[in-house]
Structure 1
């Protein structure tokens, strides 16, 4: 992997010297996670809409990379679910000096994370998230830091490989990334407005402009062939994986139905009113809710 790409990734992952409210909130949440699970935690990553906006309010997105499924989750059902269909998703709360802090915490092993950054992964969700700007809030040691940097750099390469396989223009960079994110959102059940790819690229143009040539220099000798048939399989698998993870979140995410309803409303503009029965039985209610949301255009 090119030194230029690794250098860009390392600089972006580094915790800033003058952190904004979102970074400080993410750091406090990470410290609380470490206080409870320190020996099991390899790294903590901060990504997503709050990372982009700098706003510490609302629900932050953290990824916790662990030494093993059992080390973090214990020997029971949660460890089994995390190994079978990573990541587990938890609702983390902490009282901060400025008020309560909350995060959606995704948990998986560092080894599983590394595998899902590769172009051959059937699951597009992970590399599509982590080719975007991310902050490494915590790394156990220097060796772990290097592994995370290499995995994120691989996510960038994988994203560009798939963008080119799907016929994206190589220039200008923004056009390639918009094409790529439109494709990856299409491979998931997403409650997003149509301009989401544009807004992601617009929030970090310098990042997307810089990593493209750095990755292309590495890929010059092995430019990918057309991949539309392989992508169609990933579209089918991606939606199935999203449904399975939503079902699993009913067991792991406290207040999961209300969180999902709020997410749909924020990202699609479609309000979802849940009945008491739907809150008590989210798995049974999920099929009809998904059908209604697709009819209203809230989920694609």
Structure 2
């Protein structure tokens, strides 16, 4: 007990000499564990610890300076440059596409009015017509009719009085009505009136007859029949008013015979004997009228 009292008194004296602050530092558990014994040599320990404490206080500032000195803004600037680079061409591309589309638009009407291309299987054939009945260019028959002031109405060409009229080009390409009339005539009429409407020993030459006969007289004669006495010979024209194979195509038959009659007047016009060299397409109106009549 006496030794312990002496040591305690010595320690208190040392604390008084080092000051109340150093004494409090010695009383912390960490420093008691570090100090081997409360001797006089322990007095400088607080100074060393104070320096050590000052050193870590300065060291944390270095990472802060390192972070501040790091080139953090540099990566942020690169995305801005990348965003600016595509921003300029981006609006330019839609403008270029928009300019290219109107430039290609006129190609559609040009293709529909251009001459048929033999290398293109989808090209409209010569003499074809659109679904609305209008002729597709080039159509020599339609072009000739327009140049001569002949109108196209209700599926066929007509004169100023509305009567059916043949249209024959110099190459003997004909309108649809004349073409179909050629077929119908040689199917039902040529037995009596001869091939190419030239007549026979018992039926007159219809080409000659239509030089003076108008459309209405022709229609009445075919539908109601007729009896003619010429030089003691009686010619009987049967009535075909109930025969659909005749009356549904009467206008076509008339245009063919009229074309033959014109050729008999002037060999450079009209339709010569034989088969036409070509035709234009049937119009929707003519096709519909034939279907309704025969049906």
| TMscore range, shorter length | under 0.3
**Between structures 1 and 2, the one with greater helix share:** 1
Asked which structure has the greater CA Rg, the reply is 2
Larger RCO of the pair (alpha carbons < 8 Å, separation 6+):
1
TM-score, normalization: structure 1?
0.20
TM-score, normalization: structure 2?
0.21
